[in-house]
Amino acid sequence: MKLRERCPSICVAAALASIGEQLDPLEDACTTHMTLSRRAEFIGGRLAAKQALRDAGHANPVVAADAQGVPIFPVGYVGSIAHKYGRAVAIAARSSAAQGLGIDLEFDENHDEASLAAEVITDVEQRWLAAVCAAEPMLLSPSTLVLAAKEAIYKAVFQITRTAFDFDDAEVRFAPGSRSFRAVRFPGVENLTVHGEYELSGRWVLAVAFTTA
């Protein structure tokens, strides 16, 4: 992923959902009302987040969650977590490296492409989407790639603004052939810029985004 070349201090880690791993009491308290499957996802996400934080320099990380379920990363660090079909990924960095980070993991499947496109793709994005498809001929669902990028952007921006927004409130632009993207429109701080990278592995789509002033 080119993000590692551009920002070597930003760390990405992955883990599988698990029910046998021990959590910190603050983390465990977040799982009180979860189903067994949701708890397994939560644990997988925390395992990935802790590894990413250790890679970023934190010796003994704890990642609880706020009332909205948003992960609380240790003071001095920023990060994000995503889950999908029993897999979890996380991204973390010192707050000096990025103001906000977002990550999303999706599965490339074309069950109802038209419906997903109507939900996540704006009219402007629809005009250049063919160029992305041409650059990624193995991609079954272009809308899933846009979804992943926008979810990553949302998480990276929300950490800073705490302002919720929908898919059509944001617009993303890809650079075909480079597997990079940027947010060209989103509600938030005017001088905030959001860039990102994505990877395709098998049918998995991984997108990460980071914000800078």
- Residues sharing a CB contact under 8 Å with residue 169, sequence separation 6 or more, in sequence order: 185, 186, 187
Q: In the predicted model, is pLDDT for residue 33 greater than 70?
A: yes
Q: What is the pLDDT of residues 123-181, one digit of tens each?
A: 999 988 888 889 999 999 999 999 999 999 999 999 999 999 999 999 999 988 889 99
Query: Which residues, in sequence order, are bridge partners of residue 156?
Result: none
21-46: average pLDDT:
94
Amino acid occupying residue 55: D
Q: In the predicted model, is pLDDT for residue 199 greater than 70?
A: yes
| pLDDT value for 212 | 83
Q: Which two tokens stand for residue 190?
A: 């005017």
Under DSSP, the state recorded for 67 is: T
| pLDDT value for 2 | 65
Residue 170 and residue 76 share a domain: no
| pLDDT value for 177 | 81
Range of the domain at 6: 2-98
Count of domains for the chain:
2
Residue 54 and residue 147 share a domain: no
Residue 137 and residue 122 share a domain: yes
Q: What is the pTM of this model?
A: 0.94
Q: Which residue has the tokens 């880690």?
A: 13
| pLDDT value for 115 | 94
Write down the mean pLDDT value for the chain: 92
Amino acid occupying residue 59: A
CA dist 57 and 202 (Å) reads 31
Residue 193 and residue 153 share a domain: yes
| pLDDT value for 43 | 96
| pLDDT value for 213 | 67
Write down which residue in 98, 124, 153 finishes a domain. 98
Residue 201 and residue 108 share a domain: yes
Q: What is the pLDDT of residues 36-79, one digit of tens each?
A: 999 999 999 999 999 999 999 999 999 999 988 899 999 999 99
| pLDDT value for 3 | 64
- Residues sharing a CB contact under 8 Å with residue 34, sequence separation 6 or more, in sequence order: 42
Whether the Cβ atoms of residue 145 and residue 132 lie closer than 8 Å to each other: yes
Q: In the predicted model, is pLDDT for residue 188 greater than 90?
A: no
- CA nearest 125: which of 77, 82, 203, 186? 186
85-89: average pLDDT:
95
| pLDDT value for 5 | 73
Given pLDDT bands bounded at 50, 70 and 90, which one contains residue 191? Answer: confident
Residue 109 and residue 205 share a domain: yes
- CA nearest 93: which of 212, 181, 178, 213? 212
Q: What is the pLDDT of residues 4-16, one digit of tens each?
A: 776 777 899 999 9
Q: In the predicted model, is pLDDT for residue 1 greater than 80?
A: no
Residue 91 and residue 38 share a domain: yes
